[in-house]
Amino acid sequence: MTKHCTTSTGSREWTKEEMMAYLDWSNAEDQRIEDLVEAEMPDNPFATRRRGMRDIWERVERDIEEQGALYSVRR
């Protein structure tokens, strides 16, 4: 989040309400991801077969697709 918000009418500083909404969303998103990781990990994290960055990026891509589908249904 930069110091200024750029809109079609120009640049302005973020309002306190906008900053607080962003922080609330960011915290909720962090918690959502933590919950996903916890649900996908077995009790012993070393017992997982997932290895390397490829598995992480594949999960990120899947999450992006799931979130996109969720938002398109809501519209």
Two structure tokens written together for 43: 């009790």
DSSP assignment of 7-62: ETTEEEEPPHHHHHHHHHHHHHHHHHHHHHHHHHS-SSGGG----HHHHHHHHHHH
**What are the boundaries of each domain within the chain?**
1-40, 48-75
Instruction: Render each residue's pLDDT in the chain as its tens digit; 75 residues.
Output: 788 888 889 999 999 999 999 999 999 999 998 888 888 777 766 666 766 788 888 889 999 999 999 888 876
Overall pTM surpassing 0.75 (yes/no): no
Place of tokens 């906008």: 18
Query: Taking Cα atoms as reference points, which of 36, 28, 70, 72 lies closest to residue 56?
Result: 36
